[in-house]
Amino acid sequence: MLSLCIFILVILIIVILLFSSPALSPIPYFPSQHVDLPLIVKALNLKNNQTVFDLGAGDGIVILQGAKEAFQQRLNTKFIAVEINPILILILHLRRFFHPNKKNIRIVRDDIFKMKFPRSTMKQWNNVAVYLYISPWFLEKTISNIKFQISNISVISYMYPIKSLKNREKVIQGKNKIFIY
């Protein structure tokens, strides 16, 4: 019994370290609110031949709901979940495995501040949407990386406005604000 308790404690400490280590995930994990999911998916403005990136996808709640909606509407929309935390990557893969639209969901382990957007995706798909739910002090750094590589995109930010895009801002009020640029 004591060895089982020690084993559980060690596993718990490892999981805590994986979620709190700045080297593995500089942004803490907070999932988007379930109550706001329909509004977030609406803000993505899903359409055919679109690519939707979820930068800092966490457990995939937004990307999977968007992929489900696209599947139900028979849209040929591609979804790319970008996450750095290995535990969350594992959860994303497990959830994708059982998803009805799994052929259109790709999971990428990368750092959202340094990632290179795949040129093949940009050429193949005309419309690109990026969903962000990250700490406000990281938003501008992420937006600079995106704008450096992609010119014509729509950006959806959950809870936090993006100051450099303020002139294009539309807001949807749910439980929390959803900012569309």
Mean pLDDT across 87-115: 94
Query: What count of Cα atoms within 13 Å lies in the side-chain half-sphere of residue 48?
Result: 2
Point out the least confidently predicted range of 5-19, 66-80, 151-165: 5-19
Region 143-165 average pLDDT: 85
User: Stretch 22-47: mean pLDDT, rounded?
Assistant: 84
Q: What is the pLDDT of residues 29-39, one digit of tens each?
A: 778 999 999 99
Q: In what order do the strands lie in the sheet with 127-132?
A: 105-109, 78-83, 50-55, 127-132, 153-158, 177-180, 170-173
Residue 124 predicted with pLDDT over 70 = no
Mean pLDDT of 28-52: 92
> What is the predicted pLDDT for the residue at 145?
78
At residue 86 the predicted structure's pLDDT band, cuts being 50, 70 and 90, is confident
pLDDT greater than 60 at residue 121:
no
- Specify the pLDDT at position 5: 72
pLDDT at 148: 67
CB 79 within 8 A of CB 107: no
Sequence-distant (6+) residues with CB within 8 A of 80 are 51, 52, 53, 54, 63, 105, 106, 107, 108, 121
Own/partner contacts of 43-46, CB < 8 Å, gap of 24 or more, are 43/156, 43/172, 43/178, 43/180, 44/129, 44/131, 44/156, 45/129, 45/154, 46/70, 46/73, 46/75, 46/77
Q: What is the rounded CA–CA span in Å between residue 52 and residue 49?
A: 10
* Residue type, position 116, single letter: K
Q: What is the mean pLDDT of residues 89-103?
A: 96
> What is the crossing angle of helices 86-97 and 2-20, to 10°?
100
Per the CB < 8 A criterion, the answer to whether 57 and 84 are in contact is: no
Let me know the angle formed at the C-alpha of 35 by 32 and 41, rounded to the nearest 5 degrees. 70
Over residues 133-152, the pLDDT tens digits come to 998 888 888 888 777 677 67
Residue range 168-181: average pLDDT?
Answer: 95
> 12-16, 110-114, 142-146: lowest mean pLDDT where?
12-16
pLDDT score of 16 more than 70: no
Q: What is the pLDDT of residue 19?
A: 58
